[in-house]
């Protein structure tokens, strides 16, 4: 049984013109101790997915309208508030992009760290303080005792993110949701934080659902990757497969758009034409169809499902693309087309 299994999750937000579906039938799983990435551009629904898992989307702003979120076999969506509180912290912890907005500015780091230790683990004041020092040491914060009396604004962005990681790890959760945790940080600080999270997750055996827009970060962190586009997962694969044998034209486009530091200059980038659809005006059929250079009539007429790639093993590599599917009306695409695209663009 996977540690976390999300099944057909659907989340709607209220908008001026009624409601929009930000997460539309998302299914994936995370095994114990595994690092899984959810990657996509702004507005693809990756953060909304994480917030739905944590039960952070509540009316009137939005609402989870369908699906299941099974954590160790129990559905978080139907849990009572008290049970859910027990799962948060000890079962699942979350780290956000901007630690400044998730830390309380008027409480010291020590106060905020010991609070959750006392609440979730029932530690005494002294024991909680000792554990807090230990946690700050674990996230490699120098002079941890003195840091306990610091306020969030006295710390740098990187230090604050370390405190957030310490808080997330404080109750020894089985799963951490890391939502764009390095996006606001400089690249050398990002390297420190990623290094830290990778080490700590391996040491403690904590699973991580890593949410990011940065393909470079994904390549160095995750074992499996889910690519999201317009509220749906459009491709899922092992990390090496995804980067070296991507199956979906959207993934081809993403990879073609990113310049690589290790590549000699020359040749233009290969951007995807146009822009993602508005949530309130989803195109019929394949949602990537209007931007896809390989689209055919079937792509406009009906929506492809997320299915195993040709010759692939169930649930290892999946793609949501008619061109790549082994059905009578589909299957006209292969990886050769990706290379042909590249050659055409370079000419």
Partner 1 sequence: MSQPTPAAGNAAVAPPEVRPLLQVRDLAVDFKVPTKGSLRAASLRAVAGVNLDAMRGEILGVVGESGCGKSTTGRAILQLLKPSQGTVTFDGVELTTLPRGRMRAMRRRMQMIFQDPYASLNPRMTIGELIEEPLLVHSGATARERRARALETMDLVGLNARWHERYPHELSGGQRQRVGIARALVSNPDFIVADEPVSALDVSIQAQIVNLLESLQEDLGLTILFIAHDLAVVRHLCDRIAVMYLGTVVEIGDCETLYNQPQHPYTQALLSAVPIPDPLVETERRRRILVGDVPSPLSPPSGCRFRTRCWKAQEICATETPTLTSRNSGHQAACHFPETSAPAPQPTPADR
Q: How far does CA 280 lie from the centroid of its chain? A: 23
Binding of residue 198 to partner 1 (CB under 8 A): no
Work out how close the CB of 79 gets to partner 1 at its nearest, in angstroms, rounded to a whole number: 35
Binding of residue 347 to partner 1 (CB under 8 A): no
One DSSP character per residue, 145-180 reads HHHTT--GGGS-HHHHHHHHHHHHHTT--SEEEEES
Write the DSSP symbol of residue 88.
H
Interface with partner 1 (CB under 8 A), residue from 61, 81, 106, 269: 269
Please list every residue from 37 through 56 that binds partner 1, using CB under 8 A: 41-42
Interface with partner 1 (CB under 8 A), residue from 54, 79, 133, 189: 189
d(CA 48, CA 10): 10
For partner 1, the closer of residues 159 and 207 by Cβ is 159
Interface with partner 1 (CB under 8 A), residue from 10, 270, 296, 310: 270
Binding of residue 158 to partner 1 (CB under 8 A): yes
Binding of residue 303 to partner 1 (CB under 8 A): no
Binding mask 69-108 for partner 1 (x = CB under 8 A): ----------------------------------------
User: Contact region for partner 1 (CB under 8 A) — 16-24, 151-159, 166-174, 307-315?
Assistant: 151-159
Question: In sequence order, which residues have a C-beta less than 8 Å from that of residue 152 and are 6 or more positions away?
Answer: 99, 100, 103, 104, 105, 109, 160, 163
User: Contact region for partner 1 (CB under 8 A) — 61-69, 164-172, 203-211, 262-270?
Assistant: 262-270
Question: In sequence order, which residues have a C-beta less than 8 Å from that of residue 160 and are 6 or more positions away?
Answer: 99, 100, 103, 152
Binding of residue 243 to partner 1 (CB under 8 A): yes
For partner 1, the closer of residues 268 and 336 by Cβ is 268
Binding of residue 261 to partner 1 (CB under 8 A): yes
Work out how close the CB of 198 gets to partner 1 at its nearest, in angstroms, rounded to a whole number: 11
One DSSP character per residue, 25-59 reads EEEEEE-TT-EEEEE--TTSSHHHHHHHHTT---T
Contact 288, 250 (CB under 8 A): yes
Work out how close the CB of 190 gets to partner 1 at its nearest, in angstroms, rounded to a whole number: 7
Containing 281, the helix (H) or strand (E) segment is none
Interface with partner 1 (CB under 8 A), residue from 2, 66, 256, 312: 256
Binding of residue 340 to partner 1 (CB under 8 A): no
Q: Are strands 318-319 and 307-308 parallel, antiparallel or unpaired?
A: antiparallel
Whether omega for the bond prior to residue 60 falls within 30 degrees of 0, making it cis, is yes
d(CA 80, CA 82): 6
d(CA 46, CA 67): 16
Binding of residue 215 to partner 1 (CB under 8 A): yes
User: If we measure between CA atoms, which residue out of 295, 304, 306, 300 comes closest to residue 333?
Assistant: 295
Residues that bind partner 1 (CB under 8 A): 41-42, 142, 156, 158-159, 186-192, 194-195, 213-220, 239-240, 243-244, 253-265, 267-273, 275, 342, 346
């Amino acid at each position: 049984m996977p540690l976390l299994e999300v099944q057909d999750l659907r989340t709607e937000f209220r908008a001026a013109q009624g409601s929009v579906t930000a997460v539309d039938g998302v299914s994936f799983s995370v095994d114990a101790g595994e690092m899984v990435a959810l990657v996509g551009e702004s507005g693809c629904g990756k953060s909304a997915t994480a917030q739905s898992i944590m039960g952070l989307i509540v009316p009137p702003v939005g609402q989870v309208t369908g699906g299941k979120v099974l954590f160790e076999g129990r559905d978080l969506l139907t849990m009572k508030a008290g049970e859910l509180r027990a799962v948060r912290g000890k079962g699942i912890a979350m780290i956000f992009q901007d630690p400044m907005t998730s830390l309380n500015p008027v409480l010291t780091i020590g106060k905020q760290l010991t609070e959750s230790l006392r609440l979730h683990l029932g530690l005494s004041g002294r024991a909680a303080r000792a554990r807090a020092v230990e946690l700050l040491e674990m996230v490699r914060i120098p002079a941890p005792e003195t840091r306990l009396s610091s306020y969030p604004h006295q710390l740098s962005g990187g230090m604050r993110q370390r405190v957030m990681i310490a808080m997330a790890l404080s109750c020894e959760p089985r799963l951490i949701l890391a939502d764009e945790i390095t996006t606001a940080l400089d690249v050398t600080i990002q390297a420190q934080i990623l290094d830290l999270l990778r080490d700590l997750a391996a040491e403690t055996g904590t699973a991580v659902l890593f949410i990011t827009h940065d393909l470079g970060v994904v390549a160095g962190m995750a074992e499996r990757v889910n690519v999201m586009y317009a509220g749906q997962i459009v491709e899922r694969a092992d990390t090496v497969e995804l980067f070296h044998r991507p199956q979906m034209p959207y993934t081809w486009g993403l990879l073609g758009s990113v310049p690589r530091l290790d590549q000699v200059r020359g040749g233009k980038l290969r951007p995807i034409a146009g822009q993602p659809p508005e949530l309130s005006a989803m195109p019929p059929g394949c949602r990537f169809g209007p931007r896809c250079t390989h689209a055919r009539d079937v792509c406009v007429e009906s929506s492809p499902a997320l299915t195993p790639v040709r010759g692939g093993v169930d649930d290892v590599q999946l793609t949501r693309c008619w061109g790549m599917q082994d059905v009578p009306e589909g299957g006209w695409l292969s990886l050769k087309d990706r290379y042909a695209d590249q050659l055409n663009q370079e000419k």
